[in-house]
Amino acid sequence: MKKVILIVPVLIVVIALFIPATQEETITVNSSFFNVYRVLSTPVKWKEWRQDLRKIPAADTAKIVIKKDTSFFKINYPELELKVNIKDGVFTIDDHSNNKNTHYIFLAIPAKAPNTTLITVDKKVNLIGYLFQKLDAATFADTHIGELKSFMETDSLKYGCTIFKTHVPEANLIVMGKVVPTKTKYADGMLILSQLQQFVQTHHLKQTQPLIAQYIPKPNTDSTTVKIGFFVDKETVSENGVVFTRMPKGGPLYSAKYSGRFDRRLKIYSSLQQYFTDHLYQQAILPFESFLDNKLPTSDSSHVNVQVNFSTYF
């Protein structure tokens, strides 16, 4: 009888180790359903929002292997494997990381509030684990759902830079532009700048903001359109290739700052373009750059401090 009494609790514990249970949590993410779904269904985005993948040194990123099918993808890295099945908006994840296997499901649906998504997380555990976590508040940290929420709600993580709303600083603008050979675009830009500076002096104008510029490659050619501009303190005339125009002072701009090699700033353009796509914004004019040091680049490798500006209507 004593043996039976001892055996019964042991059997109960053993059975509890194998009986499956499901923990569930629903969180609100302040991002549109379209954006959340795009991030979850794009393997390379997992490399951005998962902290364990984001922390991988740049030199080791080649060790990340992604295999993708229409409704399945797998991400492999030494001591980490993710298998993600996608069906009818449900993401079923088998996660092997930190020497642990975790099985969980993400179900994303649009919330009633605009640009808001509800994500329900179901995590598979054994019964005994479920009971213990019930006593000590269930944790979903191993599903990384908190990291996903933080990523979707933090622009500096999601877009790789801090994007801020600002405005057109002045109304009066003088601009000079030319189509030039791409190989001489920096030298030609300096010539245009010199002509503008001379124009400012002869017309008794005052530059009120850092100079702005555009370097726009012409598709399928070896040419680039270079435009240089100054915001000035008063109205003037257009002459000798210098065009006076009026900007909508106070008009909305979405901007991001960049410091580094001039030829690597295009990643900021990609970030702002994705931001506009995600928010359904339309560009009013072509993007332009404010050179905060008031100096133009002289080569691809020139160090610049710029603010990239995208304009819109609201």
pLDDT for 19: 53
- The reply to whether 293 falls in a domain is yes
Examine the domain organization and report whether 187 and 64 are in the same domain: no
pLDDT for 11: 47
pLDDT for 119: 96
Q: Burial code of 182-203, b = ≥16 C-beta within 10 A, e = fewer?
A: eeebbebbbebbebbeebbeee
> Which of the listed residues 158, 191, 212 is the one where a domain comes to its end?
158
Identify the CATH number of the domain in which residue 84 sits.
Answer: 3.30.530.20
Backbone angles phi, psi at 6, to 5 degrees: -75, -35
> Which of the listed residues 158, 191, 208 is the one where a domain comes to its end?
158
- The reply to whether 3 falls in a domain is no
DSSP 142: G
Q: Which pair of structure tokens corresponds to residue 79? A: 């001591």
Examine the domain organization and report whether 89 and 170 are in the same domain: no
Task: Name the residue range of residue 203's domain.
Answer: 164-311
Q: Cβ(197)–Cβ(210) under 8 Å?
A: no
Q: What angle do CA 88, 54, 277 make, to 5 degrees?
A: 55
- The reply to whether 93 falls in a domain is yes
In angstroms, rounded to a whole number, what is the distance separating the alpha carbons of residues 54 and 48? 5
- The reply to whether 129 falls in a domain is yes
Identify the CATH number of the domain in which residue 224 sits.
Answer: 3.20.80.10
- The reply to whether 11 falls in a domain is no
Domain count, the chain: 2
pLDDT for 62: 84
**Residue 38, SS3?**
helix
In angstroms, rounded to a whole number, what is the distance separating the alpha carbons of residues 103 and 126? 11
Q: Which pair of structure tokens corresponds to residue 181? A: 């050979």
First to last CA, the chain: 80
Examine the domain organization and report whether 57 and 183 are in the same domain: no
Examine the domain organization and report whether 191 and 219 are in the same domain: yes
Q: Cβ(238)–Cβ(172) under 8 Å?
A: no
Examine the domain organization and report whether 179 and 101 are in the same domain: no
- The reply to whether 14 falls in a domain is no
- The reply to whether 47 falls in a domain is yes
Backbone angles phi, psi at 158, to 5 degrees: -70, -40
- The reply to whether 1 falls in a domain is no
Residues of the chain with pLDDT under 70: 1-22, 125-138
Q: How far is it between the farthest Cα atoms of the chain?
A: 110
Examine the domain organization and report whether 207 and 300 are in the same domain: yes
Examine the domain organization and report whether 173 and 293 are in the same domain: yes
Examine the domain organization and report whether 200 and 288 are in the same domain: yes
Examine the domain organization and report whether 196 and 264 are in the same domain: yes
Examine the domain organization and report whether 179 and 204 are in the same domain: yes
Q: Which pair of structure tokens corresponds to residue 260? A: 């580094």
Examine the domain organization and report whether 257 and 291 are in the same domain: yes
Examine the domain organization and report whether 152 and 171 are in the same domain: no
> Which of the listed residues 126, 158, 190 is the one where a domain comes to its end?
158
Q: Which pair of structure tokens corresponds to residue 91? A: 């993401």
